[in-house]
Each structure stands twice: as C-alpha cells, then as structure tokens.
Amino acid sequence: MIAPFAIVLGLGVLYTQYGDLPAVASAFRGISAAAAGFIVAMGLKMAASKRLRSAMALFAVVTFVSIALVRVPLGLLLIVVAPLSVAAAFWRRR
C-alpha cells in the first residue's frame, strides 16, 4: 500500500505544482471527461446485470434519484431505502 500511496501522492504534487499551466489544465479537461465516462460505463455494466431484471430495479431508480438529483446524504438512504430493498428481496425469496 505504501508504493501506490507514494505514486499517487507524487502525481498529486505534480498536479498541484503544474495544474495551473494551460497545457496541463487542458489535458486534464480531457482526462477527467474520460474518467467520468469510465465510471458511467461501470454503472451501466452493473445495471445490465441479470440480478437487476425484476421489479427490484425500482430500488436502483429510487437510489439514483435520491442521491444524484435530490442529493440526500448517503446515511439517510441506507437507513430508509436499503432496508426496504432488502425487505422486498426477502419477500421475493419466499
């Protein structure tokens, strides 16, 4: 864990040192856009998985809307939505 930590910090130092240079800043506009696309792809890949092909997908929609659009704290979501989702899954497994 020490080596990855040192490498990422090294990159971080370079970023804080040179991040304001126009060339670095514009390269980062591209890199960040691509990194965001990678996260989107991971989410879509999970969303397409077999385990979501049921009414349970409703809880994915509720989670997305609460977190991304309404911006509720994660703790609240885990207290309210997660138990309902687990209860529904429990009931479906009868």
Partner 1 sequence: VSDSALADLALDFSLLSLFAIGGVITVLPEMHRTVVEVRGWMSGSEFADLYALAQVSPGPNILVVSLIGWKVAGLAGAAVATVAVCVPSSVLAFAVSRIWQRFRDARWRLALEDGLVPVTVGLMLAGGYLITLSADDSVMGFVVTAATAAVVLMTRIHPLWLFGAAGLLGLAGWV
Where along the sequence are the contacts to partner 1 (CB under 8 A)? 1, 3-5, 7-9, 11-13, 15-16, 19, 23, 26-47, 49, 51-52, 56-64, 66-68, 71, 73-75, 77-78, 81-82, 85-90, 92-93
Main-chain phi, psi angles of 73, to 5 degrees: -60, 150
Q: Least distance to partner 1 from the beta carbon of 73, Å?
A: 7
Closest CA to 60 of 80, 37, 40, 82: 82
Whether the Cβ atoms of residue 31 and residue 19 lie closer than 8 Å to each other: no
Q: Least distance to partner 1 from the beta carbon of 36, Å?
A: 4
